[in-house]
């Protein structure tokens, strides 16, 4: 793991050095002081993500935290696409020496891709699925709205959350569930802006239930629990909630907790005829839900890689990296996330909110 991290860091720094040298070469006609100023700004931006993460719990002006976070994380993606585009431009110039200004073509193409990715990110999709069951769900029908990976903090703000709440309310939910990573890398900006107060505006009959994700642990799980107790969100860890007759929500703790309970132990006291919903942030244990005859399994975490070509990697790593699939009698959905971690771009993927209509069949059809 350490070797992989060091290799990734070396690749990132090497790509940045390659971009920097090529851009400085293209700026050769400009004054020396301007090239020096460019170099200072360039390397601050290139190291911005590391500075932002290292200072995430340091008290300093909010705008500075946000600027470091957005610039630093966005630079990751800029480096990826700019290095590839620049490499292609250099190869084209080697084949056709008359091709010039490749640096600026590469820069223009990279910026266009990033703008399109930002627009895509800012417009999440609402996905709908329907599940019929012969179990006696109270009222005969239940609309569940599920979200994951909101990552509240320096990237996703209270204003963003208010917009998401409006989308949730437009779907007329009976119950709302959050499948982990509500909070990003630090609880401080969330508490300072009291972001989760926006959930008081959610219009739901049976409440809001949440399972922890790995970022709640990164932020400090105890502090997250204490803060969420002051909000309308019911955070459960390795326990079962029964918000209405005939429905049980099993909130598994995140795999970050190496001692988390096994699913079958959580279901010992379960009612046989209840419709069972499992919230498990990371989609590594869907087969456990299948073996335990769970009706609906919900996960997030993967973001489906968030951007191309990382989506190809997550599709390879996870047996179900996104979307809907049926495992035996268990319906499973892995959400790509309502918001995201890091750079505010969706390229080759999309942000989403999930709406599940659970429909109990009439008794005479059982």
Determine the pLDDT at residue 362: 67
Determine the pLDDT at residue 79: 96
At which of 87, 121, 155 does a domain end?
Answer: 121
Same domain, 357 and 273: yes
Same domain, 361 and 238: yes
At which of 81, 101, 121 does a domain end?
Answer: 121
139 pLDDT band (50/70/90 cuts)? confident
Determine the pLDDT at residue 67: 85
Domain count, the chain: 2
pTM for this entry: 0.89
Same domain, 190 and 42: no
Same domain, 103 and 83: yes
Same domain, 140 and 289: yes
At which of 91, 121, 151 does a domain end?
Answer: 121
Same domain, 74 and 138: no
Determine the pLDDT at residue 366: 39
Q: What is the largest CA-CA distance in the chain?
A: 84
List strands edge to edge, sheet with 330-334: 239-244, 247-251, 275-279, 296-299, 330-334, 323-327
Tens of pLDDT along 234-249?
999 999 999 999 999 9
Average pLDDT over residues 94-116: 94
Tens of pLDDT along 180-198?
999 998 999 999 999 999 9
Determine what percent of the chain is predicted with pLDDT higher than 90: 80
Determine the pLDDT at residue 5: 78
On whether the CB atoms of residues 38 and 27 are closer than 8 A, the answer is yes
User: Of the given ranges (56-60, 93-97, 151-155), which has the lowest mean pLDDT?
Assistant: 56-60
Is it the case that residue 352 has pLDDT exceeding 70?
yes
Residues ≥6 apart with Cβ < 8 Å to 301:
148, 149, 180, 181, 213, 214, 281, 282, 283, 334
List strands edge to edge, sheet with 125-133: 125-133, 352-360, 141-147, 175-179, 208-211, 233-236
The pLDDT mean for the chain works out to 92
**What is the C-alpha to C-alpha distance for residues 252 and 332, in angstroms, rounded to an integer?**
15
Average pLDDT over residues 327-352: 95
Tens of pLDDT along 17-52?
999 999 999 998 889 999 999 999 999 999 988 888
Determine the pLDDT at residue 3: 80
Residue 69 tokens read as 């976070």
Q: Say which CATH number the domain at 274 has.
A: 3.60.21.10
Same domain, 218 and 187: yes
Determine the pLDDT at residue 363: 55
Same domain, 117 and 131: no
Task: Give kind and range of the element (H or E) at residue 249.
Answer: strand 247-251
In the 8-state DSSP scheme, what is residue 142? E
Q: Could you list the residue range(s) of the whole structural domain that residue 134 is in?
A: 126-365
Determine the pLDDT at residue 318: 95
Determine the pLDDT at residue 1: 66
Is it the case that residue 364 has pLDDT exceeding 70?
no
**What is the C-alpha to C-alpha distance for residues 281 and 298, in angstroms, rounded to an integer?**
8
Average pLDDT over residues 151-170: 96
Same domain, 168 and 222: yes
**What is the C-alpha to C-alpha distance for residues 241 and 276, in angstroms, rounded to an integer?**
10
Residue 188 tokens read as 């401080």
Same domain, 138 and 283: yes
**What is the C-alpha to C-alpha distance for residues 186 and 57, in angstroms, rounded to an integer?**
7
365 pLDDT band (50/70/90 cuts)? very low
Residue 47 tokens read as 């190291």
Same domain, 176 and 318: yes
Same domain, 136 and 114: no
């Amino acid at each position: 793991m350490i070797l992989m991290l060091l290799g990734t860091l070396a690749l990132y720094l090497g790509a940045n050095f390659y971009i920097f040298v090529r851009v400085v070469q293209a700026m050769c006609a400009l004054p020396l002081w301007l090239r020096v100023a460019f170099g200072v700004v360039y390397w601050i931006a290139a190291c911005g993500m590391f500075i932002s993460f290292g200072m995430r719990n340091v008290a300093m002006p909010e705008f500075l935290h946000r600027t470091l976070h957005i610039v630093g994380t966005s630079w990751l993606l800029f480096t990826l696409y700019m290095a590839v585009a620049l490499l292609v431009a250099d190869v084209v110039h080697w084949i056709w020496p008359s091709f010039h200004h490749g640096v600026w073509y590469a820069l223009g193409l990279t910026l266009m891709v990033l703008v399109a990715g930002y627009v895509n990110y800012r417009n999440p999709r609402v996905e709908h699925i329907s599940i019929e069951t012969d179990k006696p769900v109270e009222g005969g029908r239940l609309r569940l709205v599920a979200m994951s990976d909101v990552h509240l903090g320096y990237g996703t703000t209270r204003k963003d959350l208010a917009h998401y709440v409006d989308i949730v309310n437009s779907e007329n939910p009976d119950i709302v569930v959050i499948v982990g990573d509500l909070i990003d890398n630090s609880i401080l900006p969330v508490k300072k802006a009291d972001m989760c107060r926006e959930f008081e505006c959610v219009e739901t009959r049976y409440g809001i239930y949440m399972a922890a994700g790995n970022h709640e642990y990164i932020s400090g799980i105890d502090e997250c629990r204490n803060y969420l107790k002051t909000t309308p969100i019911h955070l459960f860890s390795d326990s079962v909630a029964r918000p209405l007759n005939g429905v049980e929500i099993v909130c598994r703790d995140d795999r970050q907790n190496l001692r988390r309970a096994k699913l079958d132990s959580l279901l010992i006291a379960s009612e046989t005829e209840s419709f069972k919903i499992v919230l498990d942030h990371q989609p590594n244990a869907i087969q456990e839900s299948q073996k335990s005859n769970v009706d609906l399994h919900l996960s997030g975490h993967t973001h489906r890689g968030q951007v191309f070509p990382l989506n190809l990697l997550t599709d390879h790593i996870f047996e179900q990296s996104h979307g809907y699939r049926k495992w035996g009698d268990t319906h499973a959905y892995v959400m790509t996330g309502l918001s995201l971690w890091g750079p505010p771009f969706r390229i080759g993927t999309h942000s989403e909110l999930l709406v599940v209509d659970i429909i109990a069949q009439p008794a005479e059809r059982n």
